[in-house]
Amino acid sequence: FDGAFTTGATGANFASLLIAREWAGEQVGYDIAKRGMAGAPPIAIYSACPHSSFVKVTRYLGLGENAIRPVARLAETEAMDPTSLEKLLSAAPSGEQKIVCASAGTVTTNAFDDLVALSSICKRHNAWLHVDGAFGLFARTVPELADRTSGIERADSITVDAHKWLNVPYDSGFYFTRRVDLIERATGALPAYLDVEGKGLPHYVNRALESSQRFRALPIWMTLAAYGAAGVRDIVRRNCQQAKSLADWIEASPAFELLAPTTLNVVCFRAIPPAEQEDGDAWNRGFLKALNETGDVFMTPGAYAGKTGIRAAFSNWMTVQEDLDRVTNAMHTTARTFSARRQETE
């Protein structure tokens, strides 16, 4: 693999899909970067649960959001159904160039696609395999979690965020690809004044969107130099254990319910509304607002299985048990006070 640093997952997805787009044109001898999309072959993107940034990128690159072909998910999960993908690729129109966007840890439930199965399917159908591993790639650092990403080494491109589990400042991400030559060809517009010879290094200006880039490698290098692989492994393991502890507390609480199993560092749950409350989604939106207003915790909304829920993500290296106790205390207190306030206003 080769690659470059980016602003984050959006930039990494942009670079990866740009490479995949150029690969699609290459399959029929058409240089999209030079000749444009007007005469390009039809390109379809197959995904079960794409990140919102990936959807945005399809618009930026002229492919269009309608190029995304939804793939069925496995029952009670956000993971892609390999059988559904196989059927869709088998039925694809002749001449269509196929890109598969897989997930190594979805945003809401941390679902992992079966990358071994998907890579085999992509090989059979000559499809490009991109894996969004913004969070999930770091599971590979922990022996007991590493099997979640089995097969990712077979991908054609991979998205990763450094400002998540590497805990470096925003903005920072990177991508890996087997075909870095394609992005160099697509973005290569090197003027004479930037063509510095004799260093034996690639022109990184031709591997990302921006010609002017800050030194994103430095904080990553310093983090790895300070903590090493063992330190990163410890952060990932502790955060996942903290997420599991919160999930266990939620399961034991009469005020909350899990919407999905907790498999990595994200807990997707829901506040249980009173029996007389008909709009459970509105109840959860109100509860989340009240919870965040305590100043003790900050969580984000989530949606899963047709329900509005709440998403708690653990990724900070400084999070300790005392923080988790503060979270559960805030949730317990807010559940009681929010319910009382709602009853007073009704």
CATH number assigned to the domain comprising residue 275: 3.90.1150.10
Task: Mean pLDDT check: name the lowest of 88-102, 168-182, 199-213, 265-279.
Answer: 199-213
Assess whether pLDDT exceeds 90 at residue 319.
yes
267 or 209, higher pLDDT: 267
Backbone angles phi, psi at 89, to 5 degrees: -70, -35
Domain final residue pick, 185, 214, 243: 214
For residues 202 and 271, membership in a common domain is answered with no
Assess whether pLDDT exceeds 70 at residue 198.
no
| 99 confidence band (pLDDT: 50, 70, 90) | very high
Judge contact between 99 and 128, C-beta under 8 A.
yes
Predicted confidence (pLDDT) per residue in 16-63, tens digit = 999 999 999 999 999 999 999 999 999 999 999 999 999 999 999 999
Q: What is the pTM of this model?
A: 0.94
Instruction: Give me the mean pLDDT over the 161-166 stretch.
Output: 94
Assess whether pLDDT exceeds 80 at residue 192.
no
For residues 66 and 164, membership in a common domain is answered with yes
CB burial of 82-109 (b: ≥16 within 10 Å; e: otherwise) equals: bebbbebbeebeeeebbbbbbbbbbbbb
For residues 149 and 77, membership in a common domain is answered with yes
Residue 90 lies in a domain: yes
For residues 54 and 180, membership in a common domain is answered with yes
Three-state DSSP class for residue 251: helix
pLDDT score of 252: 98
Residue 220 lies in a domain: no
Assess whether pLDDT exceeds 80 at residue 258.
yes
Residue 271 pairs in a beta bridge with 256
For residues 28 and 65, membership in a common domain is answered with yes
Element at 342 (helix H, strand E): helix 321-345
What span, in angstroms and rounded, lies between the C-alpha atoms of 72 and 149?
Answer: 20
Residue type present at position 206: N
Task: Mean pLDDT check: name the lowest of 106-110, 125-129, 176-180, 201-205.
Answer: 201-205
CATH of the domain at 197: 3.40.640.10
Domain final residue pick, 191, 214, 237: 214
For residues 198 and 325, membership in a common domain is answered with no
Q: Around 103, how many Cα atoms within 13 Å sit in the side-chain half-sphere?
A: 24
For residues 53 and 154, membership in a common domain is answered with yes
| 193 confidence band (pLDDT: 50, 70, 90) | confident
For residues 193 and 240, membership in a common domain is answered with no
Residue 246 lies in a domain: yes
pLDDT score of 56: 96
Assess whether pLDDT exceeds 90 at residue 71.
yes
Residue 79 structural domain = 2-214
Residue 290 lies in a domain: yes
Domain final residue pick, 147, 182, 214: 214
pLDDT score of 345: 62
For residues 160 and 68, membership in a common domain is answered with yes
For residues 236 and 296, membership in a common domain is answered with yes
pLDDT score of 292: 98
Residue 42 pairs in a beta bridge with none
Single out the residue of 336, 346, 331 nearest to residue 277, CA to CA.
346
For residues 20 and 98, membership in a common domain is answered with yes
Assess whether pLDDT exceeds 70 at residue 124.
yes
Give the total number of structural domains in the chain. 2
For residues 284 and 154, membership in a common domain is answered with no
